[in-house]
Structures are given as structure tokens and as C-alpha cells.
Amino acid sequence: MSQTVFTNARIVLADEVVTGSVSLVDGRIAAIDTGPSRSGEDFDGDYLIAGLVELHTDHLENHYRPRPGVFWDPMAALHAHDVQIAGSGITTVFDAVRIGSDADLPNMLDHARQMVEAVRSGGAAGWMRAEHFIHLRCELPSHDVVEHFETLADHPKTRLASVMDHTPGQRQFRSLDDYKRFYAKQMGGTAEQLQAFIDARQAEHERYSAANRQAIVARAHELGLAIASHDDATLAHVEDAERDGVAISEFPTTLEAASAAHDAGLAILMGAPNVVRGKSHSGNISATDLVAAGLLDILSSDYVPFALLQAAFLLPSRVEGLDLSRALATVTMNPARAAGLDDRGEIATGKRADLVRVAANAPLPAVRSVWREGLRVS
């Protein structure tokens, strides 16, 4: 029997913060006691929180493809990604892997396979700090996305699939003017070339999206995967999600869609960078406003891993009446439950000892130590 004790910690429980000690036995939380312990690692008043659970991060892809046309060794990319994830207090991560080819990446399946295989191999070898799963980001307007999904969905690391459609003129960019302003500098070229790109994307949407969504949703249910919708903007989008048995509404863009998703029982996920910045990077609804309205369940780091912890500690100062326990639930307990991982996400007896020590008196919620199943990993 392996036992570890932490003492003199501010322990963030599901409904309160207490000062006391926590005992771990064989990778599980064995006891939680108020007051100090005679032995153990002294936290000197630092916070002890549950390990963060991240459902949607693009960072593995960013390490694998650090520049346009540059593809890194997938295991090295995973290693760099894993270090950053664990160092941000994340002990369970769903690595978002985009599937569905387009003109920029015609060999998307080859790249997706390499990333998925790296996650499988790294997990089997036991050297990764966080536990990694795969989140397949299914680009519905792509002609080969169903083929890619069939290849990668029936994989032990694949646990979540999102059905997304980034066609200009809907969902994230309902305004074509906003779309053009956002992408003009990124894509370069002339106004005519940008319009030709938009026309091609809209044609692909009309040809492929509806049939691809139907096929992917049906197969995901057969495999028992959690399903997320993406960028819901209208009541019709939410009705589609209800019809398809979707569990998570990722990044709804309007209050109308978020309210309807909440009423339908979907878990609402928004970006932690949205909280930190105080607004959406694409001009959509503020995540903080959804928290204040009681319409947000889960935060995702999306494109900045540390934003997850930073946002959770910021929220109590941004939303009147919100305490630290409920704020941290958006990055621990709620995402764990939405993904069907009931063994983690909170500090409670019997749960996995996925834990993070967070400095109490730093300008930011600095991560001092991380444990996964009772073993220190960072």
C-alpha cells in the first residue's frame, strides 16, 4: 500500500473550500480531514484542487504543424504538448484532431493517423504526464470526412466527436462581412480570390454537410462516443443537436442558442480565452455573460492551455455570487461528467488522485505541483 499525505492546504471541494489534509492510497483519495496532519507535505496554505479536464484543445495539432507546410515528428510534438498540458494543471486531455481534407491539407487522414497513433503509443508506454484521449473534429463539408471518421473512430483512445461546419455565412461567422474582415489578412490575396474561396466552401456545404452529419452521428452512437455540436447560433441548430442525441454544445455563438441548449439539457462549453480576454475573438457572445446567466457548464482552453486554470480563478471576481468551487467545477467535475469519466474531476473519497497544487499568493494561479493517480508528474 502506497500512502501520501498533503497537509495545511486550502482544499477546494465540490461545494466549499476547507483548510485541512488529504490522504492518498494507491492512486485514490482515501480521506479528507479538516485541520492539520502531524505528517505529510506541508502546502503552507496553497490551494489543492482536482486535476483539470480538458475536452477541446488544438495544441497537439499546433505542435505537430508548427508552421504552414512544416510537420514535426508526432511523438516529439506529443511530448512538447504533454509537458505544457500538465504544467497548466490539466491531468486529463481530449486532444482535438481535425479530420476531413481540404485544398490546404489534401492528405489530412495521414496526418490524423500519425497524431492518433502517437497518443496511443505514448499512453501504452506510460511516459506521458496527463492522460490523453482523442476528440475527432469532423469538418462536415469535407468530401472524405466520413471515410476518415470510419478509420479513426473505432479506436480505444477516441472518446468524443464534434460535428462542425465552418462554412462562411453561418454559425461562427453568420456575417460574411465579419468573415472577410477576419480572414482577409490571414489568407492574403485579392478580394476576388477571397470571394472565390467563400463560394467554393458554400458549394461544399450544400453538397456534403447534411449527409456527412447523418452518417457520423449514427456511427458515433453505435460506438458509444460522446457527441458535441459546434458553434450553434440558432434555435434550428439546437433542434438539430437534440435530434442527433448531442451531449455537449461547444461554443454557442448567441444567447438564444445557449439558452435553448441549456433548456434541452446539453452541457454548454465555451472557451477559457474568451473569459480571460473578456470577449470572443470572432465577436460572438461573451463566456462570462453566459456564466452570469447560468448558461455555462464547461470551459475549454481551446488554443491557450493555461487559460483553463486562469479563467476558473478569474470568474469569481467577474461574476457576482460565483464561488471558487463552482468556478472550478467548469474545468474539473463538469467536463469529466460530460465525457463519462465519473472516476475523476473532484476531491472526494474514492476518486482518482488527480490533483494540482496552486500557489495561493501569486499574481496568477501558478501551478506548483501536479499528481496523476497519486504520482507526481509535474
List the beta strands (DSSP E) in the chain. 3-12, 17-25, 28-34, 41-42, 47-50, 52-57, 90-99, 131-139, 158-164, 226-230, 248-250, 267-271, 298-300, 355-358, 367-372, 375-376
pLDDT at residue 186, as a whole number: 59
Cell 480563478 -> residue: 313
**Residue 350 to residue 353: CA distance in whole angstroms:** 9
Residue 158, helix vs strand vs coil: strand
Q: Which helix (H) or strand (E) holds 116?
A: helix 108-125
Where do the H-state alpha helices sit in 278-372?
287-292, 307-318, 324-329, 333-338
Query: Could you tell me the pTM of the whole model?
Result: 0.92
**Residue among 60, 24, 119 nearest 354 (CA):** 24
Instruction: Give me the tens of pLDDT residue by residue for the chain, a chain 378 residues long.
Output: 689 999 999 999 999 999 999 999 999 999 999 977 778 999 999 999 999 999 999 999 999 999 988 999 999 999 999 999 999 999 999 999 999 988 777 889 999 999 999 999 999 999 999 999 999 999 999 999 999 999 999 999 999 999 998 777 676 666 666 666 666 655 666 777 767 777 777 778 788 999 999 999 999 999 999 999 999 999 999 999 999 999 999 999 899 999 999 999 999 999 999 999 987 755 678 999 999 999 999 999 999 999 999 999 999 999 999 999 999 999 999 999 999 999 999 999 999 999 999 998 888 999 999 999 999 999
**Residue 141 to residue 138: CA distance in whole angstroms:** 9
**Residue 119 to residue 86: CA distance in whole angstroms:** 15
pLDDT at residue 194, as a whole number: 67
What domains are there in the chain, each with its CATH number? 1-51+344-378 (2.30.40.10), 52-343 (3.20.20.140)
pLDDT at residue 284, as a whole number: 76
Tell me which DSSP letter residue 266 carries: P
pLDDT per residue as tens digits for the range 134-162 = 999 999 999 999 999 999 999 999 999 99
Cell 505528517 -> residue: 39
pLDDT at residue 217, as a whole number: 98
**Residue 291 amino acid letter:** V
